Structure 1
């Protein structure tokens, strides 16, 4: 039996050596008797939970400096590869002819953003101008004028954004990748139309202001008459009332405010007749005032939108004179004489202004015709060796053209001829 036990003892030794733990006796393999454990307190549980949370907390990853460098280089080269071409395209599309002209001849495709921008601005200008024209010419309220003025500003901004110098050099762009045709005549028409609409808006604004002032003056005169206690105060109030009615008549009828004033004038005159009645019962005086106001309104409308010719100014003066003649028929002993005098003074002042403008028109036309005759005589002597004579003749042309006054029918033509004469004179005179 000792012989058979030896191998098993050898195996037990190997197991002990491999595990490093001596084999326990059989008694040691039996489980120990279980002893009750003490329950953990709340503080101990909280400490264990905090320790487990700290263990489970993710730790920041550490990036390799070499990887960060490679990422930065990729971003840098991406920016360079995208930014350099974009910068070149931005530069060649700057609104300067010295840059765009060479590019348009050699590499026009680089100007594609400019072509698209010009096309959009041109189309927007045409569309905004048409909308503004409809709103301004067919306005039914001040709100239409406000919106039309806004559209007009948009059209003007779009026209200002067009590079005219560049478009004059290259009015057509016809490539396989883009097709564009620019019409200078349409551009000039749009510019002219915008200018006309701006003038009409300005006239409408003035008419609106005149309507507001006339209504304010009329209401003030009406209140003054109702509060008057003496005959003198009533006469002054009636005169102010009549003047306010005349202001309503003078508002241009082709404007929105003028059409509104004509509609309100009927009601205002009815109120005037109902409250004031015939001036001191004198029906003839009242008819004369009404007739004078009618001629004054016609004269005011005929004098709108100058300049006018000498004959046209004469027609306006005749209308004012007719209104004055009707008022001057009222005698001093008539009861309405005091009421008529302020109106008569205003009409005479307007007639004097018309006569001054008529005289300025006549003198300006005479001066312009004289300058034209001087130019004809100067052209007949062109090529002569007497430079001093030509210089003196040109100076005479300049002096004559400077007599042409602003606001006359020949003023614009005279300015063109004056500029030509001054340039010619500066070329002939020694430096």
Structure 2
């Protein structure tokens, strides 16, 4: 006779499916319970009773219907044996008192029983096996849910599992660990041994996971608060109509980012924050830089309006605009735009206090800007370098006409020092280009003569090739002749090889 019949199996299976959810963890739980029930269906022996059925499912499904359990237990009883069960119950009732006594947690009782009739201690070991398996099962699920959490729901579910594992550990009869029989599973064909060390490790693991759950739940609060702060700041920034309101929104925005960075790094909230933090910082930086430029433009507009009647106030407003522009860092994509505005505002201030020198300085800056643009992406030909030299020279000539007594003199001298240095660099590049082209031309002439009249003596031939290589080596890098010279050197060295 099998321990669980088909009718009881169907009742229990229907309730298991009803209690189970659709997520991965729920499917694993359902599979565990079904395997337990299937094992009972294949085991031969006395029919499973209500208590054993309850123990089979309740650790996984605490909400399992007690009514269904009773119906299944009743359906599992074979027909026609009511009288036998009554007599057995009377006999078992007498034996139950004996079993209860021998399974008490007292070594002086258990020791002689363990050495003579260990089978009487079976209830204690079954109970321990049940809670041990429940503790391991719940701990594994809790560990998976907590350490690989992808959402707050995983943290919540993991917390429930670790509580269940803790209840299982609390029910383990650790008071008789070390008393025979240790290998109690031999009764079922297994060799598992439960030790004090194993129990302590499980306890420590429960404590560690509980701490992680506590930290993760606490960390979700500042994460939520920070995200709400950032959302409100961004909305406030977009709705702002003036510089003052935008700066208030930016200050709140910075507070939200600071809150995200202060979340403990080992928590799920911190991992979630890290995936979003770069985007938050990028948006914040764009807003901050955009505010600098917008504020500068607003000061510029106000200065233009004040200039006809209040030139001093206009100068102060342009200085405010310059102060904002100077906060745009070099690595920001809008740096070039900011520098153009900076030059414009500086010229406007200079135009108020010193019209003549400011115009000369502005003109010099335009020539210098053109020279700098033309010098980009070298190498250039000697003709291009000469044009660039001329632009720097023109800028320098403009600055040299500003007299000592003019207000713009000091600024002009600072620019002169920079422009003259740049001119010297360009003149050096020009000279290198001219010399390199000359060396390349001379080497090509030598190559043509060698091709037209090669010497019969091999040693003399190689000597002439080495001379060509030496001539090509004088071509400097950064010139238009350098690439061709390197190609010719490579070809010449191949001819030197025996």
TM-score normalized with structure 1 length: 0.43
- Radius of gyration: which is bigger? 1
TM-score normalized with structure 2 length: 0.38
